[in-house]
């Protein structure tokens, strides 16, 4: 099912002031070639806010950058919250801008999930509440820098998660048989090749390096699942719920992998 992505929930790096390359920290690891504290520009960030090694991020040891998605928060902060004034032109805005960005990213992630839930016909019983939640989150995302930075975003996520869970249960109710529940399960490195996981709950599951080759993941709920280096070769994710592009980008797949509508097959597969 097409998750009903809105264009404003897609990253537009050309309209952003390189916020993910400055505001967020990263540590030297398999995902990043160097340490960088929050608030310090990445050494690869150019004056025009573009990445100097964008075409060779993976080969340069910055795989973590290739799987990051701000869900459109970068351009919202840059062009709306701060009206197009960048942190280099106005250094006095930097601290506030960098504090707002991670909160805005969470708001946009919630907007993305709620938008998808509203596209599920079987979740119609909660559509009214979902529409109210969408309007509320959208309004919060358009507030002042001060109001956004002060948000209790964890509490908001808790409230919205309840609605998303109900939408998920309604959407998966049509799947025949007993649906597996692996919510928040530690399945790191698990051997699940060919597993019948249709309609399963894999919400928040740790699936790092798991073998899901040929697994049936149709209509499974994968919200927040960690798919880093998971093998999705030949797996069927048709209709899988709340899958993001960054989850696919972090996994390994092949030409036989069936991805949810609205998402693209990663170039490195």
26 has a pLDDT exceeding 50: yes
256 has a pLDDT exceeding 90: yes
Band of pLDDT at residue 5, cut at 50, 70 and 90:
low
72 has a pLDDT exceeding 80: yes
178-261 topology per CATH: Pectate Lyase C-like (2.160.20)
The pLDDT tens digits of the residues spanning 86-112 come to 999 999 999 999 999 999 999 999 999
Band of pLDDT at residue 6, cut at 50, 70 and 90:
confident
Contacts of 188 (CB under 8 A, 6+ apart): 206, 207, 208, 209, 210
The pLDDT tens digits of the residues spanning 42-54 come to 999 999 999 999 9
Helix%, strand%, coil% for the chain, nearest 5: 40, 5, 55
27 DSSP 8-state letter: -
pTM assigned to the model: 0.94
Specify whether the CB–CB gap between 228 and 250 falls below 8 A.
yes
Q: What is the pLDDT of residue 130?
A: 98
Q: Where are the domains of the chain?
A: 7-172, 178-261
The pLDDT tens digits of the residues spanning 189-235 come to 999 999 999 999 999 999 999 999 999 999 999 999 999 999 999 99
Rounded-to-integer distance, Cα 99 and Cα 148, Å: 9
């Amino acid at each position: 099912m097409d998750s009903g992505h809105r264009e404003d929930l897609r990253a537009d790096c050309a309209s952003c002031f390189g916020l993910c390359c400055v505001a967020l920290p990263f540590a030297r690891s398999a995902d990043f070639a160097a340490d960088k504290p929050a608030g310090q520009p990445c050494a690869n960030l150019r004056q025009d806010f573009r990445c100097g090694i964008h075409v060779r991020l993976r080969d340069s040891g910055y795989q973590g950058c290739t799987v990051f998605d701000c869900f459109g928060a970068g351009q919202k902060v840059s062009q709306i919250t701060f009206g197009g004034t960048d942190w280099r032109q106005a250094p006095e805005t930097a601290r506030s801008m960098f504090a707002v960005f991670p909160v805005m990213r969470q708001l946009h992630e919630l907007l993305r999930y709620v938008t998808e839930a509203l596209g599920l016909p079987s979740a119609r019983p909660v559509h009214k509440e979902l529409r109210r939640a969408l309007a509320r989150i959208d309004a919060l995302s358009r507030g002042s820098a001060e109001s956004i930075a002060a948000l209790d975003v964890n509490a908001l996520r808790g409230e919205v998660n309840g609605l998303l869970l109900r939408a998920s249960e309604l959407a998966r109710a049509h799947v025949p048989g007993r649906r597996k529940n692996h919510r928040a399960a530690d399945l790191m490195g698990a051997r699940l090749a060919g597993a019948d996981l249709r309609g399963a709950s894999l919400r928040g599951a740790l699936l790092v390096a798991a073998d899901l080759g040929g697994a049936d993941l149709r209509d499974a709920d994968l919200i927040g699942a960690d798919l880093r280096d998971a093998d999705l070769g030949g797996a069927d994710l048709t209709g899988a719920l709340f899958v993001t592009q960054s989850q696919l980008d972090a996994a390994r797949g092949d030409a036989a992998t069936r991805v949810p509508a609205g998402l693209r097959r990663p170039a490195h597969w």
